[in-house]
Structure 1
Amino acid sequence: MNRRSLLAGVAASSAALAGCLSLADPAATQDETDPEPPADPDDPIARATIGSQSEDEPPHRVRLWNLDDDRRAVALEIESADGTTSFDGSYDLDPEAHVAVFLHERDEYEITVDVNGEEQSTTDLEESSFDDPCPGTDLFVSVGGGLEVTNESDGDHC
């Protein structure tokens, strides 16, 4: 192989690679970010505790937020897999308002959210989520009444 062919090949490859990299749109390669709680996440309009508090295990915190610009009527139902533990609450949430429920009983749970009388989502919490350092689940009513769910293993409530 002669030196000119080698240099020409390297130059062509570099130019092609540079062209591909310059065409990439950085915004197109980023994933959509999860919704963030509003400025004051420590001030829910309602707070409930299910089960007995333990110093050894932190609770699994469940928050339901209204990120819509309009007031929303929401219903939050939480039921353990064995049916022995349940929570049922209905609220009128102003924009950026939320409710918080702290689950102290280690179990699997089913969470159902209704927005303005329509079921939006059912989410399952695994018992293994209680193994996390400070588990939390946030449910966000989005613009138009849809629902998004995020989970975190190291929340700020512990």
Structure 2
Amino acid sequence: MLNPTNASSRQNPGQGAHAANQKHGAAEFLTFRLGAEEYGIDILRVQEIRSYEVPTRIANAPSFIKGVVNLRGVIVPVVDLRLKLNCIAAEYNDFTVVIVLNVHGRVVGAVVDSVSDVLALSPEQINAAPEMNTTVDTSFITGIASTGERMLILMDIEALMSSADMGLMDTQLAVQ
């Protein structure tokens, strides 16, 4: 597991290694758990990883928007991805962390069960996202990666955080 204290001191974790890996066709993903499933997001969207602190609730916000926190003078909305993606339970414990993301120039926090590691994945390791019926929104899933015995759901965190139901981004910003 990444140490939130060390990760928070880096503004763009893994950026040098990411650039070197892209020359060889690999991309780096921060992996995290939501319930029993493991997900991955582009490491370049991650600003820092912080321990969970109870946010200030905003009236009339959807249940998956937990509220806001003050991050060094910046008011950051916090989304519980477990609630947003309909996980069975959202338990807050010592492993619960907030991944602070930079999405379309806006800082947003994403609550997850735990952070695992950073993986460099080659295009050969990534399979296309599965086709699902129209009642299941898979537009934010970019693929499924297999590494050994691990199955990793790769997520376009920008698409998810920019979706209209989130209400976090201006529609003009999300289109860019």
Same fold? TM cut 0.5:
no
Question: Larger Rg: 1 or 2?
Answer: 1
TM-score by length of 1: 0.25
TM-score by length of 2: 0.23
